[in-house]
Chain A
Amino acid sequence: MRLNSLEAFLAVLLAMQLGIDSGFAVAASPAIGTIVTLGAFRMNQATLTSNATLFAGATIETGAAGSLMELASGTRLELGPESRGRFFGDHLVLERGQSKIDKSLGFRVEARGLTVLSDTGGSTGRIRLPGSARVEVSALTGSFRVLNSRGMVVAKIASGKALVLEPQQATGPTRVTGRLVKLGGHYLLTDETTNITVELTAKKSLANQIGQRLEVTGSSDGVATPVSDATELIEVAQATPAPPPATAPAGAGGSSGTGGAAGGAGGGAARGAAVSVTLIAVIAGVAAAAVVGGLAASGSLGGSAAAPVSR
């Protein structure tokens, strides 16, 4: 019995020792992959060339050439030229520039308060930070979801599509455009820009507008739970027939009478890509505008390291 007590005591001591040791080991950030580049890059303020081991929490800053990151999880990322991001095993915090992600299931990119997630393992997408407040997400293959800072889905981007999103300073009215349907006694509308379905409630009946393509503004009811297909319940303030989809050169967004928030997003896309002024939405505090021509308009990740060559 006494021997048992001694053994138990020693076991506890050993466990404590191991605990301390492993604590030290855990304190050091783990290696999460490799980084390869054609030129020089900065890792945690230090300038490096060619390649390095990537540790969790490392801040990578690229120069004229992009960098390729191969994570142990299988995710492959390209950080574009003149870009900066902080890397972790399961996410990237993109601070500047652009990044392309490949085999990204379970991996997320955080940028300017938004989170971008892929829906499938084979998804490839590009996230770009134009201007000072916007995030452009392009789904090259597979589809992506975009979440706001509260974890609410604000956009679903199908393969070949690209969206410019801009979190709004103040929560303004929700604005969606799509065809109104009635399912199980609930009025639903899937926004054409963000592909998000919302449930609508209104003081005045919407029954006579079923099947019509509507432009709806209203306020989000943050308390009530929407029907399962919808992400948000909207109290309709105005529902008018939507004009037929038409495109206009970038910069026209502000004059389309869509309000400051949406106009802001339209202006956001103005940098290098045209937006459809009729396809501007505001959902859960995030303005979104489709990039006309999708990926073709959003361009490609130029200058990145497609293959590693040491110099």
Chain B
Amino acid sequence: MIGTRLCAAISLAAFVFAAAGTLRLAIAESLWRTGSLAAGGWPMSVGNSSYYEELAVREPALEVSALGRAVAANPRDSAAWIALGLAAERAGDTDRARYCLLQAEKVDRQYLPAWTAANFFFRQANDTEFWRAARQAAAMFYDDPAPLIDLADHRELKAVAALERLGDTPRLERGYLHFLIAEGRWQEAQEVGGRLALRRGAQDRELLLALTDRLIVAGRAEAALAIARARAGAVTNGDFRIEPSGHGFDWRMTAPPGGAAHWESGRVRFWLARSTPDACALLDQWVVLDPGGYRLRFEYRIDGLAEETGLHWTAVRHGIEEASGPVLTRAAGLAAGDRKTDWSFGVKKPGFYQLRLVYSRVPGTTHIEGRAEFASVELKNL
């Protein structure tokens, strides 16, 4: 009997407690929605730090006190610690800001507290704490690392040194390389790119090709060659063993308007149509040349074009044609005797040249549909 009554009493007490809790939350929610929480609803929301954080947003005058209550209500709320730390910094209370941001890092070992602390210590010019927090953040970044790298780059002017202080990882190296390319800092981009190139990671190929492209545009021949592991005075992928990437020192294939371009291992083919314009570029590659004589050797085969095909090689520097080879004839191609064709030319200035295969209809010839195939291109210094 006593046991039954005791059980009923406990159940009733539990019911009353639960009902009171629900009612309390409902009233707090209602006060919050009507905006009167600031006036009198605080006690109703004890234990829920997010109410105080929202209050801090809605009532700037109560910001610091509300955030203080938020961290008291939930000392593990890193967002509240961060907000309080930033508010303290704005108020000029750097000691409190430091304490709050360190607390945020302590209770939450994710990216945002570390990032916020790194920024705070950056602004306070506290190098030791900055690099500690920045390194912590660098180990956890989940999106674009550029802002963190930008921050580190303002503290350490040498990219490689900054990378090492952040905790050198391939992911960070990639981020730093993007950053340096965007900044046009080619020397450092070369250094960081060189480190990535050493790893020979397949996922870095595109990035290194992009770097090579930018170095070529910037006219930095040695750096571009080093990153691309290419040689001066030579063509890359001359045997067309791999599909031309269209980047760096590799071939760029251009389908002639109205026609087509096609690669298969060992050769490239171009189809010229009746609608193909009288002049167009088909294939080109950046090469680095020193002054002197060169010989370009290649194999080609022609089907269907005029005897004087209009196809010829040129060497172009800064957009100006420096040397132009003879027009290739159908008879001299592979079909006529399976031999290589030579074109010898000379350049006077060192630097980047575009070795370009162009089509230019020979005056007096009729434009006929046809196919041209090229293979085994070699360049030698004479």
Q: A and B, one complex?
A: yes
- When distances are taken between beta carbons in the complex, the residues of chain B under 8 Å from A247 are none
Query: What is the minimal beta-carbon distance from A45 to any residue of chain B, in angstroms?
Result: 8
- When distances are taken between beta carbons in the complex, the residues of chain B under 8 Å from A208 are none
- Bound state CA distance, A46 and B157, in angstroms? 21
Q: How many residues from B make CB contacts under 8 Å with A?
A: 32
Task: With A28-B153, A306-B60, A309-B57 as known contacts, state yes or no: A50 contacts B112, CB within 8 Å.
Answer: yes
- When distances are taken between beta carbons in the complex, the residues of chain A under 8 Å from B122 are 31, 53
Q: Which of B8-16, B79-87, B199-207, B280-288 contacts the other chain?
A: B79-87
> A51-77 vs B: 1/0 string, CB under 8 Å?
111010000000000000010000000
When the two chains form their complex, are residues A44 and B89 in contact, meaning their CB atoms are under 8 A apart?
Answer: no
- When distances are taken between beta carbons in the complex, the residues of chain A under 8 Å from B115 are 50
Interface of chain B: mostly helix, strand, loop or mixed: helix
- Bound state CA distance, A51 and B119, in angstroms? 8
- Assess whether B348 is interfacial by the CB under 8 Å rule: no
- Which range contains the number of A residues in contact with the other chain? 20 to 34
When the two chains form their complex, are residues A307 and B56 in contact, meaning their CB atoms are under 8 A apart?
Answer: yes
Query: What is the minimal beta-carbon distance from A311 to any residue of chain B, in angstroms?
Result: 6
For B82, give its contact among A48, A51, A70, A306 (CB under 8 Å): A51
When the two chains form their complex, are residues A309 and B90 in contact, meaning their CB atoms are under 8 A apart?
Answer: no
For A307, give its contact among B83, B116, B146, B151 (CB under 8 Å): B83
Query: What is the minimal beta-carbon distance from B186 to any residue of chain A, in angstroms?
Result: 14
- When distances are taken between beta carbons in the complex, the residues of chain A under 8 Å from B153 are 28
When the two chains form their complex, are residues A51 and B86 in contact, meaning their CB atoms are under 8 A apart?
Answer: yes
For B83, give its contact among A28, A44, A308 (CB under 8 Å): A308
When the two chains form their complex, are residues B63 and A307 in contact, meaning their CB atoms are under 8 A apart?
Answer: yes
When the two chains form their complex, are residues B116 and A51 in contact, meaning their CB atoms are under 8 A apart?
Answer: yes
When the two chains form their complex, are residues B150 and A309 in contact, meaning their CB atoms are under 8 A apart?
Answer: no
When the two chains form their complex, are residues B56 and A309 in contact, meaning their CB atoms are under 8 A apart?
Answer: yes
- Assess whether B33 is interfacial by the CB under 8 Å rule: no
- Assess whether A36 is interfacial by the CB under 8 Å rule: yes
> B48-73 vs A: 1/0 string, CB under 8 Å?
00000110111010010001000000
Closest to A306 in B: B60
Query: What is the minimal beta-carbon distance from A42 to any residue of chain B, in angstroms?
Result: 10
Query: What is the minimal beta-carbon distance from B66 to any residue of chain A, in angstroms?
Result: 9
- Bound state CA distance, A2 and B115, in angstroms? 55
- Assess whether B144 is interfacial by the CB under 8 Å rule: yes
- Bound state CA distance, A28 and B302, in angstroms? 57
**Most interface-central of A28, A36, A51, A307 (chain B CB within 10 A):** A307
When the two chains form their complex, are residues B82 and A310 in contact, meaning their CB atoms are under 8 A apart?
Answer: yes
When the two chains form their complex, are residues A49 and B86 in contact, meaning their CB atoms are under 8 A apart?
Answer: no
**Most interface-central of A28, A38, A48, A309 (chain B CB within 10 A):** A309
- Assess whether B143 is interfacial by the CB under 8 Å rule: yes
- When distances are taken between beta carbons in the complex, the residues of chain B under 8 Å from A25 are 157
> A12-53 vs B: 1/0 string, CB under 8 Å?
000000000000110010010010101000011111111111
- Bound state CA distance, A122 and B115, in angstroms? 33
- Assess whether B123 is interfacial by the CB under 8 Å rule: yes
- Assess whether B5 is interfacial by the CB under 8 Å rule: no
- Assess whether B318 is interfacial by the CB under 8 Å rule: no
When the two chains form their complex, are residues A28 and B154 in contact, meaning their CB atoms are under 8 A apart?
Answer: yes
- Bound state CA distance, A25 and B56, in angstroms? 38
When the two chains form their complex, are residues A46 and B151 in contact, meaning their CB atoms are under 8 A apart?
Answer: no
- Bound state CA distance, A25 and B79, in angstroms? 34
- When distances are taken between beta carbons in the complex, the residues of chain B under 8 Å from A307 are 56-57, 60, 63, 83, 87
Complex A-B: 21 CB contacts under 8 Å: A24-B157, A25-B157, A28-B153, A28-B157, A34-B86, A34-B119, A38-B57, A47-B144, A50-B112, A51-B116, A53-B123, A70-B90, A307-B56, A307-B57, A309-B53, A309-B57, A309-B80, A309-B83, A310-B79, A310-B116, A311-B79
Q: Which 8 A-B pairs have the closest CB atoms?
A: A310-B82, A46-B144, A310-B79, A46-B146, A309-B83, A307-B63, A53-B119, A309-B53
Contact surface of B with A, Cβ cutoff 8 Å: 53-54, 56-58, 60, 63, 67, 78-80, 82-83, 86-87, 89-90, 112, 115-116, 119, 122-123, 143-144, 146-147, 150-151, 153-154, 157
